[in-house]
Structure 1
């Protein structure tokens, strides 16, 4: 046996051995008439611990390739050499080897736990049901008959909706744009995926904020991109950091969330916006502006968005209705140069043949109605009330044990825990106590932070959630959990 496991690979040694044996069985190297090599013998030949061989055999047994017979060793399963010659696919290996990287385990755990009815959800980045315009939607359904066709729509999305979005961004965000420069997407998440997959290639370097929502997304890793981090202070990203990174690494694309940034709530200062746009023009770096929150500005002042200041077509702009109307509507959009929009529309067609006609119809009716402005006014007021409740609860239950900057919009609250704490342990104990949040190191490199979402809960649940969180934090501080 000349083969040896490769210790330089990321694949665990026991999985390499299991794969080698499986291939040997298929090729006939290992005969079904004899047991496979004993664990100790194989361990010596491959220069590994016996426990590694045990794990490899258990892996093969779990997928039906081998049978462990007490007293006689490990044998090739008779099922795979029977009359039908059928075998069970190794689905575990398929799952692990796919090119699309899964969410990290803590993110998967949070999403699973937040489905529990008795858990207070301060983690999910969405609006509470009472903030949805449900009554307005019912009015649309009852008074506005659907007159659209039921076939595939325009590759870039329904033309009427794109016209309405064009009017919307002109009125609210001072962005002058043609419907031909708009692509309808299934929320901002799909927009990001399309941009990464279509406009970048493996090995390209991109820069994102630290901390940021993008930090938690595996889409950059799935695309084989190199990700650089830009620290955020009270005015947002420092343009000088962009210069430094670009001189060292040649940034191909810059991803920014300038208004009420997720998770810090920071608003990029006007002077820095101007400087970043100047750098984009100087170095030829495209900017992806993700803008889910600017409409929620509590004082009603919006922007100026980078796209509204962009005179050269350097900014590709993403927004959606997820954070201001309803996440389940799945309506987002990309605004950019026509050739870019056409490229992204072609890719979207390959994925889903275009967006569903019904949510586009609902979005068009609501976004173009006077009710939209009324809804936004209500939303700002209620989100500000929830933010204030969160601040009041932190002061009441935790005193000076936390520190934070107060966001002027958005739905997220970035909170520093002054005492040293393991954020994952804090999360696990909090879930047991019936409250969930997002650990800060899921969203960036800073230690000792948590993100609370005040858009998801009502005022009583925010108060109770912080009370439960404080109880857990105090127990940890006193070494009682």
Structure 2
């Protein structure tokens, strides 16, 4: 302690803590291998000490030379730390007296001084929803099955990093990063427009194209604009769960129709239309989720005719068009839409790393104008830099070469899984070799407990998420992706499935 003497005899003496008494090394711990500069580590931990009350407002800090000795750093490092604290308003310098913790701390940090814990619950009520609970599970198993995602190990990382880095350094692009641009990169839209015209036969203009982050964002925007509570939406009996959640959240009434080997049952759809006023039909024309069935040419015509006859919207979701193997795909419904009834949503760059993928919507001009308003609310900033890079991938032909190269690998994996399934599960499973997409629809001939099977498989290092299992009274099936697995991983994981099935059989 040290003493401040009063001006005369009998005056009370006030004792305050000497900064020398505080061992700063007890609460300032430096990591010399960290990428954070030492002076910032010192400044940050002094701020933390102030927040915790170790250093009180108005208290004098140790001198720079003494603190440098305690922490075993150069004095200039401590001076730099103090300058940082001064710039942020945490300390003040009093001439000929020293450096002191500021009496008035930064306003944004005052609440941190309180010793109370942050509240665990709100002081108000709000409506909770279980519709959007995350359905995805995480596992540490060596082998993980999914519903048909690409293998990022096949991504041309060098090309992606080169193009993105070049766009980041380009001055013209740096200027675009300084303002919001919800309409996206015109350059990318022009390249994507050309790509869609060539690959999918879409006769569209720039005014018909909206860039989004994902299929889910696209569908959310559409439901916000086009659906009101109690509108009737028709989906297939088995359907993509994310789409189901979005329609349910909109307050729509859901009606379902079956799917057979030709896709959505148009006679069942007509039956519903004759009884009720349908607002929207959601479908996968190219490859139905989860059964991987393609909508036949005959049924495509019938659905288009029904849309005009009963005046309902067709939302055509087409995420896997680029993954085409043995025969050309039928053009999307949107390519033959002359009455403005079809809204086409899809994704670009799905074969690339997740950060390089984007979604898009194709629809008539008047609806597009309304969608831009909603996009401005939920994604005002956009990602012009990424879109510029994607545009270059198209213009330089890199995306085409990458898809062509990766398709060769995916076809080999598809065929290996087919051979392995025929060898090991001929008596238990039926399936069709998919012409497109990256997943199989495996139908078990006899009903088994799929959840129990997945639990046994997990013990043997194969994770089968619940979202891949489809089981009810008249159905026992699984959607299993092959795109993310190498040939060896396919064989080894199916060996585990065989072993797990045998164990399940023994359990009765």
Please state which band the TM-score falls in when normalised by the shorter chain.
0.7 to 0.9
Q: Secondary structure at the match of 2:306?
A: helix
Of 110, 133, 138, the match for 1:103: 133
Distance verdict in 2 for CA 1:423–1:235, change over 3 Å: same
Equivalent positions of 1:61-80 (< 5 A) are none
Distance verdict in 2 for CA 1:254–1:214, change over 3 Å: farther
Distance verdict in 2 for CA 1:464–1:93, change over 3 Å: farther
Check the 8 A contact 2:148/2:437 in 1, yes or no.
no
Give ranges in structure 2 of 5+ residues lacking alignment: 1-114
Check the 8 A contact 1:191/1:318 in 2, yes or no.
yes
Q: Secondary structure at the match of 1:140?
A: helix
* Alpha-carbon distance, 1:358 to partner: 2.3
* Alpha-carbon distance, 1:182 to partner: 0.9
Of 162, 166, 188, the match for 1:161: 188
Counterpart residue number, 2:161: 138
Of 128, 141, 152, the match for 2:151: 128
- Distance in structure 2 (CA, Å) of the matches to 1:254 and 1:275: 13
Which structure has the larger Rg?
A: 2
Equivalent positions of 1:28-39 (< 5 A) are none
- Distance in structure 1 (CA, Å) of the matches to 2:152 and 2:120: 43
Equivalent positions of 1:41-440 (< 5 A) are 88=119, 90=121, 97-99=127-129, 101-103=131-133, 107-108=135-136, 110=137, 112-113=138-139, 116=140, 118-141=141-164, 146=170, 147-148=172-173, 149-214=176-241, 217-299=244-326, 301-439=328-466
Higher relative contact order (CA 8 A, sep 6+): 1
Q: Secondary structure at the match of 2:251?
A: coil
- Distance in structure 2 (CA, Å) of the matches to 1:428 and 1:467: 15
Check the 8 A contact 1:286/1:315 in 2, yes or no.
yes
Check the 8 A contact 2:216/2:242 in 1, yes or no.
no
Distance verdict in 2 for CA 1:362–1:403, change over 3 Å: same
Counterpart residue number, 1:53: none
RMSD over equivalenced CA pairs, Å: 2.7
Check the 8 A contact 1:210/1:443 in 2, yes or no.
no
* Alpha-carbon distance, 1:408 to partner: 0.3
- Distance in structure 2 (CA, Å) of the matches to 1:92 and 1:102: 23
Q: Secondary structure at the match of 1:197?
A: helix
Distance verdict in 2 for CA 1:282–1:216, change over 3 Å: closer
- Distance in structure 2 (CA, Å) of the matches to 1:216 and 1:463: 32
Q: Secondary structure at the match of 2:361?
A: strand
Check the 8 A contact 1:188/1:333 in 2, yes or no.
yes
* Alpha-carbon distance, 1:455 to partner: 1.2
Counterpart residue number, 1:468: 496
Of 447, 450, 465, the match for 2:478: 450
Q: Secondary structure at the match of 2:443?
A: strand
Counterpart residue number, 1:58: none
Give ranges in structure 1 of 5+ residues lacking alignment: 1-83
Check the 8 A contact 2:348/2:358 in 1, yes or no.
yes
How many pairs were matched up? 389
Q: Secondary structure at the match of 1:478?
A: helix
* Alpha-carbon distance, 1:373 to partner: 1.5
- Distance in structure 2 (CA, Å) of the matches to 1:442 and 1:93: 39
Distance verdict in 2 for CA 1:151–1:243, change over 3 Å: farther
* Alpha-carbon distance, 1:379 to partner: 2.3
Counterpart residue number, 2:98: none
Check the 8 A contact 1:184/1:332 in 2, yes or no.
yes
